[in-house]
Amino acid sequence: RIHMPYRSWLFVPGDSPRKIEKAAASEADILILDLEDSVSPDRKAEAREITLNALKRVGGPPKWVRVNALDTNLTRDDVAAVGSHASGLVLPKCGGPDDLAALDALSGGLPVLAIATETVRAVRACLSADWTHPTLSAMTWGAEDLAADLGASANRGQDGRPLSPFRFARDAMLFAAKAAGVPAIDTVFVDFRDEPGLVEEAREAEASGFSGKMAIHPAQVAPINAAFTPGGDAVDWARRVVAAMEAAGEGVARLDGRMLDRPHLKRARSILARAGRDRDAE
């Protein structure tokens, strides 16, 4: 499984050496070399070759590969071509533990980021199934394919926020990820020129319990990293909470006139882990 902090996950087309090189020079925590939606059907084989070459030769952050969905009959070839060199795999249209097991059988145990809400079936599975699996390392959600499955004409309102069914899917995935004990990663903000909108959405996601966010352009990486990196005040509070609980030596403590208990300690350790101050906190 992956370890925090992985805040920014930058998609890059797997058939573009130029874009891969540019993305690798960014400050993204993880690159996702995409063999799925950003690659046309007639370029799948070429994209595998370009992606494999990048995995072998291009430096920079860890590189995961988004393979094609299991129902396309392309996944096996994707994994066979690049799996041995990828840090992990991203599985689109993942419907639950059975799909994770199917990919595991192809990849031999590579870590997986599951895109868990691209079908109605998957959203329902987020509410009813236990997604725990040895290869599951993180979960995220997507709205474009879900909109098609729902027959929806839009997934965001005029204010730029996800419409009600998509907020529901997002929340369902968040709960499923937390129940499975893996980080929840927020979906992409598609207007890469709207930095204020991205910052607002990323901050809201961080406050809600998400650990990071997807990006579609290198310009989005810095705002995402900033949003998911605890500030000095938060780190100071967390360190004081840990010290107070350790000094109390029991289930409760007091800090600044307020009672502290185990949930406060858990939150404080999570903040320190994301800030890189306490590697044993998680």
* Whether residue 115 has pLDDT greater than 60: yes
Contact by Cβ (8 Å): 64, 87: yes
Who's near 28: CB < 8 A, 6+ residues apart? 8, 9, 10, 60, 61, 215, 218, 221
Helices 262-275, 232-248: axis angle to 10 degrees equals 140
What pLDDT, on a 0 to 100 scale, did the predictor assign at position 67?
A: 98
Greater confidence (221 vs 259) lies with 221
* Whether residue 265 has pLDDT greater than 90: no
pLDDT band at 281 (very low <50, low <70, confident <90, very high): very low
* Whether residue 214 has pLDDT greater than 90: yes
Give SS3 for 9: strand
Whole-structure pTM value: 0.87
Contact by Cβ (8 Å): 91, 113: yes
* pLDDT digits 0-9 by tens, 142-170: 999 999 999 999 999 988 889 999 999 99
pLDDT band at 272 (very low <50, low <70, confident <90, very high): confident
pLDDT band at 269 (very low <50, low <70, confident <90, very high): confident
Token representation of residue 200: 């607002």
Could you check whether the bond before residue 62 is cis, i.e. omega within 30 degrees of 0? no
Calculate what percentage of the chain has a pLDDT beyond 90.
Answer: 76
Task: Name the nearest CA neighbour of 214 among 2, 77, 12, 4.
Answer: 12
What pLDDT, on a 0 to 100 scale, did the predictor assign at position 280?
A: 41
CA 99 to chain centre: 18
* Whether residue 181 has pLDDT greater than 60: yes
Greater confidence (218 vs 263) lies with 218
What pLDDT, on a 0 to 100 scale, did the predictor assign at position 253?
A: 84
Question: What does residue 101 show for φ and ψ, rounded to 5 degrees?
Answer: -65, -40
What pLDDT, on a 0 to 100 scale, did the predictor assign at position 41?
A: 96
